[in-house]
Amino acid sequence: PFVDTKKNRVDAKKFLAAWEGKTDPWIDLALKPTKGFGEKELHLLLRNTWNAFGISEVQIARFPAYQRLKEKNAKKGAFTEQELRDVKFWFYLAHFDPDFLEQKVWLPDGTVVDLTDLVTKHADGTYHLTRTVTEEDCNRIVAETYKVCANVIPIHRKLMYDHVRRQGQIEVATTPFYHPILPLIFDSDLARICQPGDPMPERYAYPEDADAQVAMAVEFYTKTFGQPPLGMWPGEGSVAHEVVPIFRKNGIQWIATDEKILARSKPAGQPKFFPYEVDTSDVAVVFRETELSDKIGFTYQNFVGEDAADDFIKSILRYAPAAGEPDRLLTVILDGENAWEWYRRDNDAKEFLHALYRKLSKLYKSRQVVTVTMSEFIHGNPKRGVDAHPVESMKKLDWLYPGSWINANYDTWIGEQEENTAWNYLRTARMDLARSGVPQPDPKAPEPRSGTKKWYAYKTWEAMYAAEGSDWFWWYGTDQNAPAGDKPFDIAFITHLRNLYQFGRKAGGTFPDREFTPIITVKEEMVSRTAGGTMAQSRKDSVIVLFQCDARKIFVRRGIYITGNHELLGNWTPNAVRMYDDRTTGDEVANDSIYTLVLQVPAGVELEYKYTNSGPRGTWEGEEFPSRNRRLVVDGTVPRIVVSDVFGVMP
């Protein structure tokens, strides 16, 4: 009611009167006149843990004016009113897909997003404003954002595959409602199987909550998309044999997790390129091909798009079955919201994705590779020549190992002191709730009328379920740390627990007085913030290796290349894998003749490699030494290795 999509304007006065301080603060900042900003607004914009400069270094480098403002803020420089206006505007603009910045885009509801009058793209790929930002522009950018957001659900509904009518293109899976680590809600002692050496909190075992989390997700999905989900990605790929019946009870036909879980399940030694039925549950499980998935999530961020697509296709075709063998199903799963902003040589991975889909379409015509949704694979689609693979016909797993897609266990969420403290807090609150007299609501029932006792009971359990979510436990401990600090997640977790008691008393429940003190102290946060980032991988799965080759003492006509005994190094194809001297892919100084390449290398690999100088692809011209190879053991004990070599010099 506040947005005029034809005039691209928000009625700021009415919106702020109704919603100021009650929703996203960035909307308030954009709609408020910058001239009237006080300390509260300035803190949010510039100094808050999540301020206006929370953007990847790769992404912000494409907006030089925005980057200069970030650098000024880091030096605690004083901002003019116009600069503050620019900051809040850039925060929105820099997060738009490049398509919106470069051309008109028609959306499914008939609206159009066209930002080309505000921003222009230069030959070097950077974006620049075409005029001085005004308050009207800040208002408009909120309206443009609204139009994009308003079309997210409609475009997915339009493209969704219906396995009954055999129409559609994509399948939307879901996850347990508040994204809990479902097996730990079912019974936290399952972690003792996959983490036998870690200290554990007191047992948290509430199967009814695990069921409610799945049931609420199914209900919300059905209301949103007009059909129930068939598939579910359990939060962080966290599975256990014991929770599979919950999925089946709620109509879920397939789930997914990582190949490391398959390697530990029974019977042992099963190939990852088949789906399996868990026991006789009538639930299929597919296993993520880790290397393929991590190539998209990590490795290809340093590639040119076309080269990345070529490499991916080659990697897929390695799995092609021989004549007469059954179909194979490769499953690629990654954190899609994280990968693209880190693609250094390919803005938003546009070139890679377009090239990949083009190549896959060509391979589909020859029937070498057929892309499918899981429901299409299970139920079949004669229109596309996809045979049915009923769950009951799949190979059986006698036992599904408990763990997640990270380390094949749950140690990101349980086992460290902070994490265990949080679980004990959660257990205390859940036990108090069980004794309070506030009944557990039907997870499929609609929200009661606001202000009634039933509504407060509903809100009590909502706070409980939210506190069971995985995010708080993810950031506790030292294994994962937010770039801006973990404290906001600690505050959110404690707030959910406190809300439970406040709502519960208003619902007529009897609760003891509890004080849940913050788990993260300032000192602990300062120590932990050196330890990690937001894109998680298993510590034992892969290692970032930064190769540096010093070529300052030789003449380099065309470039320095690396080759070696791994596909990331070209499988000994010389002069094929280029290194860089242009401040990309980890290179610190452009044109200093120190060439760099960053790769995500599987742990447990012993690399042999060498460098070549400017030779034709596939020839050994320019080889640094013909009879010897360099060696590097990547054992997974450290997350990052820096290799500093001098061309032609063996240490």
* Residue at 412 is within a domain: no
Coil, strand or helix at 194: helix
Q: Evaluate if residue 589 carries a pLDDT over 80.
A: yes
CATH of the domain at 611: 2.60.40.10
- The per-residue pLDDT of the chain, averaged, comes to 93
Residue 476 belongs to domain spanning = 417-528
- Residue (of 316, 505, 295, 519) closest to 424 by Cα position: 519
Q: Evaluate if residue 523 carries a pLDDT over 90.
A: no
Rounded to two decimals, what is the model's pTM?
0.82
Asked if 240 and 376 sit in the same domain, the reply is yes
Q: Of 134, 151, 168, which one is at a domain's C-terminal end?
A: 151
Q: Of 151, 181, 196, which one is at a domain's C-terminal end?
A: 151
Asked if 375 and 436 sit in the same domain, the reply is no
Q: What is the pLDDT of residue 538?
A: 45
Asked if 73 and 218 sit in the same domain, the reply is no
The mean pLDDT value for 474-497 works out to 84
pLDDT band at residue 385, thresholds of 50, 70 and 90? very high
Give the least confident one: 160-174, 177-191, 420-434, 561-575. Answer: 561-575
* Residue at 441 is within a domain: yes
- Residue (of 175, 183, 231) closest to 204 by Cα position: 183
38 neighbors 168 (Cβ within 8 angstroms): no
Higher pLDDT, 487 or 469: 469
Give the tens place of pLDDT for each residue, 285-314. 999 999 999 899 888 988 999 999 999 999
In sequence order, which residues have a C-beta less than 8 Å from that of residue 196 and are 6 or more positions away?
A: none
Asked if 137 and 175 sit in the same domain, the reply is no
The mean pLDDT value for 485-495 works out to 90
Q: How many domains does the chain have?
A: 4
272 neighbors 259 (Cβ within 8 angstroms): yes
Asked if 273 and 134 sit in the same domain, the reply is no
Q: What is the pLDDT of residue 481?
A: 65
How far is the C-alpha of 449 from the C-alpha of 456, rounded, in Å? 9
Asked if 184 and 277 sit in the same domain, the reply is yes
Q: What is the pLDDT of residue 524?
A: 47
Q: What are phi and psi of 170, to 5 degrees?
A: -125, 160
Higher pLDDT, 319 or 541: 319
How far is the C-alpha of 608 from the C-alpha of 585, rounded, in Å? 21
465 neighbors 209 (Cβ within 8 angstroms): yes
Q: Evaluate if residue 326 carries a pLDDT over 70.
A: yes
Q: Evaluate if residue 485 carries a pLDDT over 80.
A: no
* Residue at 651 is within a domain: no
Q: What percent of the chain has pLDDT over 90?
A: 81
* Residue at 411 is within a domain: no
Q: Evaluate if residue 624 carries a pLDDT over 70.
A: yes
The mean pLDDT value for 237-250 works out to 98
How far is the C-alpha of 354 from the C-alpha of 230, rounded, in Å? 28
* Residue at 215 is within a domain: yes
In sequence order, which residues have a C-beta less than 8 Å from that of residue 447 and are 6 or more positions away?
A: 455, 458
pLDDT band at residue 161, thresholds of 50, 70 and 90? very high
Give the tens place of pLDDT for each residue, 28-87. 999 999 999 999 999 999 998 889 998 888 999 999 999 999 999 999 999 999 999 999
Asked if 598 and 519 sit in the same domain, the reply is no
CATH of the domain at 319: 3.20.110.10
pLDDT band at residue 233, thresholds of 50, 70 and 90? very high
569 neighbors 600 (Cβ within 8 angstroms): no
252 neighbors 230 (Cβ within 8 angstroms): yes
Asked if 636 and 582 sit in the same domain, the reply is yes
Q: What is the pLDDT of residue 467?
A: 98
Give the tens place of pLDDT for each residue, 205-218. 999 999 999 999 99
- Residue (of 233, 194, 227) closest to 214 by Cα position: 233
Asked if 328 and 462 sit in the same domain, the reply is no
* Residue at 617 is within a domain: yes
Q: What is the pLDDT of residue 539?
A: 45
Q: Evaluate if residue 536 carries a pLDDT over 60.
A: no
DSSP sequence for 214-273: HHHHHHHHHHHHSS--SEE--GGG-B-GGGHHHHHHTT--EEEEEHHHHHHSBSSS--TT
* Residue at 409 is within a domain: no
Asked if 249 and 271 sit in the same domain, the reply is yes
Q: Evaluate if residue 644 carries a pLDDT over 90.
A: yes
Instruction: Measure the CA angle with vertex 310, ends 309 and 315; round to 5°.
Output: 95
Q: Evaluate if residue 483 carries a pLDDT over 90.
A: no
Helix (H) or strand (E) holding 644: strand 640-646
Asked if 557 and 455 sit in the same domain, the reply is no
Asked if 459 and 371 sit in the same domain, the reply is no
Q: What is the dihedral of CA 423, 426, 428, 429, to 10 degrees?
A: 180
**Alpha carbon separation from 53 to 37, 50, 61, 79, 522 (Å, rounded):** 18, 8, 12, 14, 22
pLDDT band at residue 615, thresholds of 50, 70 and 90? confident
In sequence order, which residues have a C-beta less than 8 Å from that of residue 273 and are 6 or more positions away?
A: 289, 319, 328, 329, 330
Q: What is the pLDDT of residue 337?
A: 73
**Alpha carbon separation from 95 to 340, 351, 553 (Å, rounded):** 12, 18, 43
Q: Evaluate if residue 557 carries a pLDDT over 90.
A: no
Q: Evaluate if residue 617 carries a pLDDT over 90.
A: no
* Residue at 362 is within a domain: yes
Q: What is the pLDDT of residue 484?
A: 60
